[in-house]
Amino acid sequence: MAKKINPLVGILGGLMLVLLIFSIIAIILHPGPTVSLSHGAVDGDTVSVQYTGKLTDGTVFDSNMEEGRELLTFVVGSGAVIKGFDDAVHGMEAGDSKTVTIPPEDAYPYYEELVVTYTKSDVVDSLGSEPAVGDKLMTVSTVGTIMEGTVTEVTPTTIIIDYNSAVAGQTLVFDITVVEVVSASGH
């Protein structure tokens, strides 16, 4: 004797099979977002980069791209490099390259207090000769830091030395290529 099948069970089973098939098709056609386990450089990671720093007119003022120059290696977020450069490498992965324009306030701001006027006789006595405009001089600050300055003016009684960076107050353009990212978390 044949068993009777409840028609409701057959309909529900068929509907479930149809829903399963449509769900599989929907997943195939619309897989949704992909998840990347790579996060790029974050604060605390150590990055090694190649770079070229230029003024907005294209003049190169610094680069480690020449043969024999070492990679620039630093800890992201540590303050070891200018803020705009540090911000630029956030999220970059090994092999990534970008060009970034950095305003003076995130690079080398110009500080008027770093332009110092000295008595000419004191400078000449210290150096043993009179410096000329454009000369680079090393000075030891009151806290023992060695500072390089550029003579910007020589008068009969004074010598003015500017201790700002040579590119202070200028917008800078950096071409950056990340060579390696070492995660601080070990992942």
Backbone angles phi, psi at 144, to 5 degrees: 90, 5
Token reading at 136? 């680079």
Question: How many CB atoms within 10 Å of residue 53?
Answer: 20
Rounded average pLDDT over 102-127:
96
Least confident of 109-118, 136-145, 147-156, 162-171: 136-145
Q: Are 179 and 71 in contact (CB under 8 A)?
A: yes
Q: What is the mean pLDDT of the chain?
A: 86
Q: Would you say the pTM of this structure is higher than 0.75?
A: no
Count of CB atoms situated within 10 Å of the CB of 162: 18
What are the residues whose beta carbons fall under 8 Å from the beta carbon of 42, sequence distance 6 or more?
76, 77, 90, 91, 184
- Please give the share of the chain, as a percent, with pLDDT higher than 90: 73
Quick: pLDDT tens for 23-79. Answer: 555 555 554 433 334 579 999 999 999 999 999 999 999 999 998 999 999 999 999
Per-residue DSSP letter, 13: H
**Does residue 173 surpass a pLDDT of 90?**
yes
How far CA 122 is from CA of 26, 125, 128, 129, in Å, comes to: 83, 5, 10, 11
The predicted structure's pLDDT at residue 7? 47
**What's the chain's Rg over C-alpha atoms?**
31
pLDDT band, very low/low/confident/very high, at 185 (cuts 50, 70, 90) = confident
Domains of the chain: 46-108+168-182 (3.10.50.40), 112-162 (2.40.10.330)
Specify whether the CB–CB gap between 41 and 178 falls below 8 A: yes
